[in-house]
């Protein structure tokens, strides 16, 4: 008997990024070419998750850093905040693949088995169904890494230690990349947003836990990564810090975007 694999289809293709594969690849390559970032391959990244017209240049800067590890990285652990469905703890989906216009990405069921019995882990396809905070990273990862397996986690009400426990369990070696999805401040005037986001960036770089929700929509997964960075003595490099006023020109109510690379073992 043939079992049809369960697939989480792309929910924001055509909205946050192009739904045509050729157009999407052209856009990704333009963004990656225009936003170079040299340096060592990171163990973990923080990168934004808005529409590509807004945060694509900042995300491209982050994903350029993993390009040299195309033959090394084989698993991506991707954590992003819940925008549409209330989540207590961290939510896994029950599907076998995540789909984008560039193809299907297999979930890493062996890695998922390591965390699925933790008390903060739950299964919720509803939390993943329309969530963009994970999805928008996938085409960048496909373009830069080619084949990889995925552990996708939507993070809701979770303490830094709960997120850190999940990350510690899945940490692995050079084959595993951790990606935290987060935008920064929302809907402040341009000058106020720049001041607030610069202060948030300094807090991230100084591992000042907790980062508050008002500073970053992905504050909860960020706090878990910062806890791990303390424990493991990781080094942090700021890759980019801008807002939608820099990328689209409208400066009355902007959204902030930052990218950071974490190095170490």
Identify which of 129, 46, 117 has the alpha carbon closest to the alpha carbon of residue 93.
129
* The pLDDT of residue 192: 98
* The pLDDT of residue 265: 81
pTM score? 0.97
Distance (Å, whole) CA 239 – CA 37? 7
Can you read off the two tokens belonging to residue 132? 């963009």
* The pLDDT of residue 91: 98
* The pLDDT of residue 2: 57
* The pLDDT of residue 94: 96
Distance (Å, whole) CA 130 – CA 90? 16
Digits of tens for pLDDT over the chain (265 positions)?
556 789 999 999 999 999 999 999 999 999 999 999 999 999 999 999 999 999 999 999 999 999 999 999 999 999 999 999 999 999 999 999 999 999 999 999 999 999 999 999 999 999 999 999 999 999 999 999 999 999 999 999 999 999 999 999 999 999 999 999 999 999 999 999 999 999 999 999 999 999 999 999 999 999 999 999 999 999 999 999 999 999 998 899 999 999 999 999 8
* The pLDDT of residue 1: 54
Domains and CATH numbers, the chain: 25-263 (3.40.830.10)
DSSP 65: T
Identify which of 6, 46, 40, 3 has the alpha carbon closest to the alpha carbon of residue 207.
46
| Residues 6 or more apart whose Cβ sits within 8 Å of residue 95 | 5, 6, 7, 8, 107, 125, 128
Residue 39, SS3? Answer: coil
Strand order in the sheet with 103-106: 7-8, 97-100, 103-106
Q: What does each C-alpha distance from 246 to 54, 115, 192, 254, 255 come to in angstroms? A: 9, 40, 14, 9, 10
């Amino acid at each position: 008997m043939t079992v049809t694999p369960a697939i989480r289809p792309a929910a924001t293709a055509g909205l946050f990024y192009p739904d045509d594969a050729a157009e999407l690849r052209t856009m990704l390559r333009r963004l990656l070419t225009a936003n170079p970032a040299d340096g060592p391959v990171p163990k973990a990244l923080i990168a934004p998750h808005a529409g590509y017209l807004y945060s694509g240049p900042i995300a491209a800067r982050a994903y350029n850093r993993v390009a040299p590890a195309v033959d090394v990285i084989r698993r991506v652990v991707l954590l992003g905040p819940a925008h549409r469905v209330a989540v207590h703890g961290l939510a896994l989906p029950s599907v076998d693949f995540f789909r984008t216009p560039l193809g299907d990405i297999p979930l890493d069921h062996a890695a998922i088995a390591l965390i699925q019995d933790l008390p903060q882990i739950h299964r919720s396809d509803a939390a993943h169904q329309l969530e963009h905070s994970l999805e928008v990273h996938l085409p960048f990862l496909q373009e830069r890494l080619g084949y990889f397996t995925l552990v996708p986690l939507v993070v809701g009400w979770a303490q830094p230690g709960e997120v850190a426990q999940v990350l510690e369990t899945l940490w692995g070696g050079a084959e595993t990349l951790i990606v935290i999805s987060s935008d920064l401040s929302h809907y402040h005037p341009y000058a106020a947003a720049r001041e607030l986001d610069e202060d948030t960036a300094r807090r991230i770089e100084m591992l000042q836990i907790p980062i508050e929700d008002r500073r970053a929509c992905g504050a909860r997964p960020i706090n878990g990564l910062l806890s791990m960075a303390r424990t493991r003595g990781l080094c942090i490099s700021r890759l980019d810090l801008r807002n939608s006023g820099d990328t689209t020109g409208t400066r009355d109510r902007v959204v902030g975007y930052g990218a950071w690379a974490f190095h170490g073992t």
